[in-house]
Structure 1
């Protein structure tokens, strides 16, 4: 069974169709990347899956269950999203404790104190951060909180929209290593949007290359080491990266 299945997916904003005919299958436990230039439609695909871009046609399935166009509380327990900007994705007037407790309250889950403490530990933050506000934390710490929030309902699928692009390079490595560890420990499936090919090489098993709203090629991440791409646009992206891009693990 696929963790994520997209079939003939078209997505529009008003009268403008921005994604056309996307077909992707992501296996359970896989880390899959959507890559391409800005405006290629890759983040829009994540938003449609998450329910943030409701004007779509085709089929979206998560863990064998079809995704409808309406708000689906059960969907939130299966799939969560981490956004690009750790400065904008957290409410400035809510403490970390409130941010992490809210999903549990909405879904009627108990044992909140222990769950919050355990999740902070899982993302590498101790209890000192529990009652801090976003302005009292660094960008990397905020993104750790955002990841913790996404994991509070124990989903099996994570949508990652450029989760490190707003961070300093040294902090990027820490967050990528954290995501890699969490995937291994919790059996997560990742669908990651990025324009950074070294991140794909470090984090992902396969990649789909998007250009002007369409998937032009699906390839294993190992192609980033040997350049075995077939589509001219993908070959151009690969050449622009300098060839054989690598992201060095630092932790």
Structure 2
């Protein structure tokens, strides 16, 4: 079954069209990446799926249900987003407990205490962090809180917008390993935006290469590892990544 199906997706900001005829299909349980240079429209696609970019035409279908533009609470129970900057995405005056409890209150989910304990444990956060504020946490701990907030409603699909790029190199691997474990343990589906091809190789099954708001190629990670991408721009990205390795 498809977890997410995108067809002929055109997204606009005012009179400016950002994407053109985007289409791809993510299977349930798959980890799929959107890659490409800055400005290619990758994050805009995530925002349209999440309901933050509302001016679009085409089709967005998640687990067989068509999505309409704007905020949809039912859709939010199935799909959540983890943002690039873990400090900017957390309210500075809310404790971890308040941050994690808020989605439960909005959606009328009871037993918040037990749910918060459970999700904190699942992302590797000790209970002593529960009543701390974001400024009292490290970058890696803040991103664990952001991931916990995305998981608190027990969605099936996570949208990951450069989930490690704002972190210190020393903790990037920890978060990537956490995401890999969570996907395996909870049967999650990932749609991830990144420019880091080694991250794609580690975490994903397939990728779509975007350029100037269009998908130029969809390939498997095995093709990426073997250097068998077909589009000239895709091959250029691979060569650039090989000559500028991430530390």
TM-score bucket (shorter structure): over 0.9
Task: Specify the SS of the correspondent of 1:120.
Answer: helix
Partner of residue 44, structure 2: 44
1:88-107: CA deviations, max 9, x gaps?
00000000000000011111
1:174-228: CA deviations, max 9, x gaps?
0000000000000000000000000000000000000000000000011222111
Using the TM superposition, give the Cα deviation of residue 246 of structure 1 relative to its aligned residue in structure 2, in angstroms. 9.4
C-alpha distance in structure 2 between counterparts of 1:228 and 1:72, whole Å: 40
Aligned residues: 246
C-alpha distance in structure 2 between counterparts of 1:90 and 1:151, whole Å: 15
Report if the CA contact (8 A) 2:97-2:116 is conserved: yes
C-alpha distance in structure 1 between counterparts of 2:246 and 2:188, whole Å: 23
Task: Specify the SS of the correspondent of 2:202.
Answer: helix
Mapping 1:92-241, distance limit 5 Å? 92-241=92-241
Partner of residue 18, structure 2: 18
1:73-100: CA deviations, max 9, x gaps?
1111100000000010000000000000
**Moved segments of 4+, more than 6 Å:** none
Report if the CA contact (8 A) 1:199-1:246 is conserved: no
Report if the CA contact (8 A) 1:103-1:152 is conserved: yes
Q: When the two structures are superposed, what TM-score results if normalisation uses the length of structure 1?
A: 0.96
Q: Supply the RMSD in Å over aligned alpha carbons.
A: 1.2
Using the TM superposition, give the Cα deviation of residue 68 of structure 1 relative to its aligned residue in structure 2, in angstroms. 0.6
1:56-86: CA deviations, max 9, x gaps?
0000011110001132111111000000000
Using the TM superposition, give the Cα deviation of residue 241 of structure 1 relative to its aligned residue in structure 2, in angstroms. 1.4
Partner of residue 90, structure 1: 90
Report if the CA contact (8 A) 1:31-1:206 is conserved: yes
1:14-44: CA deviations, max 9, x gaps?
1000100001100000000000000000000
Partner of residue 5, structure 1: 5
Task: Specify the SS of the correspondent of 1:7.
Answer: strand
Unpaired runs of 5+ residues, structure 1, are: none
C-alpha distance in structure 2 between counterparts of 1:69 and 1:228, whole Å: 37
Partner of residue 61, structure 2: 61
